[in-house]
Every structure is written in structure tokens, then in C-alpha cells.
Amino acid sequence: MDREILLADDEVTFRETFAKILREEDMTVTVVGNGADAIDAVMRQPFGVVVMDIRMPGVDGIKALREIMRIRPETRVIMITAYGTVEMAVEAITLGACDYVMKPVAMDDIVTKIRQNMKYLDLQEENKKLKQELGRRFDISQIIGKSSQMQSVFDMIRKVAPTRSNVLITGKSGTGKELVARAIHSLAAQNSRHFLAVNCSAIPEGLLESELFGHKKGSFTSAIRDKKGLFESACGGTLFLDEIGHMPMSCEVKLLRAVEHMQIIPVGSTEPVDIDLRLIAATNKELQKEIKAGRFREDLYYRMNVVGIHLPPLRERKEDIPLLVEHFIKKFNTEMGKTCTGVSDAVMRLFMSYEWKGNIRELENVIERAVIFAEGDTIKISDIGLLGSHAMGLSKEDEDLQTAVKAYEKEYIRRVLSKHDWNKVAAAKALKVGLSSLYRKIDELEIDSQKPKRSKNRG
């Protein structure tokens, strides 16, 4: 992480000379001449390391140190003095300084101390990220779904997670592609390292290459220092490339090299950097069509699609809707301190008949709004906003939840039978149920399972 250094000293020659040396070491330095200005600078922005003289006019270094520790206690402060005593050093350390040096300062010595403290801050930042990642970690059971399609997805996640194979997750927006990527990461052997995600469609083309692969100082106008890219930062963990189908063709060549050789070349460099990470990509585009249209590299597609996982849209797994509704109500009850127990039968009928073009994300947003506006324990049509207008087209207003779910189940089995030309063996396989179970459902739901006969024209 790039951090600035604040140098506070009332001796103009010393601070200007020292600042020049630090800048030659590729460090970013702000200089001030007294303690009051040092406090003001720290209030305006954080600094990684503050190097400060103890004896300065007005507010001295000890007073400034006390304020800096109050404002930004994470700051590493190195004190400088020409009048050092053991008591003064002890006071500075007690107040929060991490080190002190005596004048005349050995420049190499203090540069080394600054670098050590910057490394310490990097380790602190790394530990913070790891703790956050551990806090977000979840197991596969937290992805909601009992449908046959989702059971297939869960099975693939469990099988691919222990490997290092590249994974391509496809599906419409809002189907939960990043959740699947995080589940793979969480179940992987190397999950002690962090999970980094980048949306390839959200970063301008001119910046994406630098963001992914890093750059060297001076490689372009604003490159004032070397910068690690996400590939290098994710080493040992997982890099998730979301919306890879929107990646510019100019970046695909470099990505292909990274995938094939586990090496990257930062912008402005000629030296390859070895990388070691798990790559997962996702897209809402049909990449085969993009390849035919010349908008995506075929060789990159096959490199990334070692294991492909497709997430079905919500309209194709409506039997999961009751579970998802229950999950989101619990989630927003906790966040908002509400006590909603569920939705009315009319709302559930609406949910089961609605197309959900925005998929799970749309359902989550609808439930969030409903929990906000629900005045009782049960969410009603009036609580779900514009979606409630679709309720006018629903039939059987007195139909209960169990009847509504059975009606959907009956229609879904009929669609699968029709898709497989009314072959019950093939339909049972597609539904991932035993043949006897399918026959039992056909009888229970009174499904006409015979292939419709075509009428003959008679002349």
C-alpha cells in the first residue's frame, strides 16, 4: 500500500536535504517546519510514517506527538533530537513513538527505519484484510437452494474447490456468481489467503491493464511510483475476474499469458513476475457468441473454462423462492430490528408467478423494501411497491401457499416432460429424481403425462 511520509523539522537545510534523499528513494514526502503544522497535516490526511524533531518553536515535538497519537493512533512516529536524554526518549516511546534517533542523523540508518515501519504497516494491513475475509467466510450451505439445478451447482463447487483448476461461472446478472466464487475460495486448500475481486466492466480500458498487472514508475504520466497489480497482490489466494466478457481485447492477450504461464509483465516493464493464485472468472454474456463475433478470444475462453458452472435464472428454479424469501426476511429483520415472520399467501403466489428478470438480486431488493414498510408481522401486497401491481393478474385469490407451490411443481414437471419428448426416463434424469419418484409425482399431481397427439387434417 502506498503511504506518504511527513517530515517535521525547524531546520530548513536539514529537512530539505532529507526530503530530497527520501524522494530519491521513491518515497512521497510532505515537509513542515513546526509541530502545529505537523498536527494540521495529520488532521488533513493520514501518513504512514512521521519523522519529527523534538525541539521546535511553538508546539514542540512531544506535544505534537501527543496530538498525532490522539488523531491517528496507527501512525508510526520516529522522533529526532539533538538534545536527547533517556527521560525524553522514554517519554516519547510512552506517548506512542515507535523509535527515536539522535542528531547528527545517519541518513542510511533513518531510511532503513522508515522502510521497516512501512513494512510493519503493510503487514498490519494484510492481517486486517485476512481478518475481514475470515469474518465474511461462509460455507456452501449459505447459498440458498434445494432445486435440482442448484444441487448440481453445489456438487460442482465441492468437486472443483480442492483443485487449482480455472473456473468460469456463467449466468444472468443477479444470479449469485460472486457467491459461488467465494464458496469455491472458502472450500479451497489455499483459502488462508485473501479473495480479491475486480469488475472488468467497471474500470476504464486505459486503467484496467495497470489495475490487473501493475505498473512501473514513469510508465505513464500519473505513474509516480511502482504499483502492484491485483494478480501479484492475490498471490497465494484467489483472484475473481467478474464480467470478463466486457474485458477489452487489448487486455485479453496479457491475461492469456498470465493464465498460460502464471507470469505477468507490469506496464512499463520488460521483466516477467511469477504469480501463484487461483483464477475464477464470471460473465453474464454468452461467450461462444462473443467469440463468433470476434469480441472474445477463443484460446482465452478454453483456458478459463476448464470447469464451467452455469447458474440458472430464478424463473427456472422457482421452487427455491420460498427458501430465499425466508432467508432475506431473516437477514433484514436482523439489520433493521424488525419482526416479520413471512409473506401472505397472495404475495407468495405473486412471487411464484413473476418472471424475476433481475433474478435473486431483484428478489432481495423487493424483500428489503417490504421489510421496511411492513407494519405487521406478515408482508402484504401493499408492502412490495410496484411489484404489487402484478398481483392483479393472479387468479384464485384464496389459494393457499401449499396449493400455489404444487401448481408450480405440476407445471414445471410438465415442461420438463415436454422438453424430453415425454420420455419419462430422460425427464427423471433431468429432474435428478428416481423414475419411481417421477411416476409418484405424476399420480400425486394428476399430470397428463402422455405425449399430445397431433390432429390430422382430413380432406
pLDDT of residue 454: 47
pLDDT of residue 133: 54
Q: Cα separation of 381 and 348, whole Å?
A: 9
Q: Cα separation of 100 and 159, whole Å?
A: 55
The answer to whether 110 and 51 are in contact (CB under 8 A) is yes
Q: Cα separation of 179 and 186, whole Å?
A: 10
C-alpha cell of residue 101: 534517533
- Residues linked to residue 240 through DSSP beta bridges, in sequence order: 197, 280
Domains of the chain (ranges plus CATH)?
4-128 (3.40.50.2300), 145-312 (3.40.50.300), 315-399 (1.10.8.60), 406-444 (1.10.10)
pLDDT of residue 135: 46
381-409 pLDDT, tens digit per residue, is 888 877 755 544 444 444 566 776 777 78
Q: Cα separation of 320 and 144, whole Å?
A: 7
The answer to whether 277 and 231 are in contact (CB under 8 A) is yes
Distances from the Cα of 101 to the Cα of 104, 108, 115, 271, 290, angstroms: 9, 12, 15, 38, 62
Q: For the chain, first and last CA: distance in Å?
A: 83
Q: Among 201-215, 365-379, 417-431, 439-453, name the one with the lowest average pLDDT.
A: 439-453
326-361 pLDDT, tens digit per residue, is 999 999 999 999 999 999 988 998 899 888 999 999
412-435 pLDDT, tens digit per residue, is 888 888 888 888 888 888 888 888
Q: Cα separation of 145 and 323, whole Å?
A: 7
Q: Cα separation of 65 and 72, whole Å?
A: 10
Confidence of residue 456 (pLDDT cuts 50, 70, 90): very low
Distances from the Cα of 380 to the Cα of 357, 365, 367, angstroms: 22, 15, 11
Which among 313, 297, 186 has a CA at the least distance from the CA of 238?
Answer: 186
Percent share of the chain, pLDDT over 90:
51
Position 149, amino acid: Q
More confident residue, 396 or 294: 294
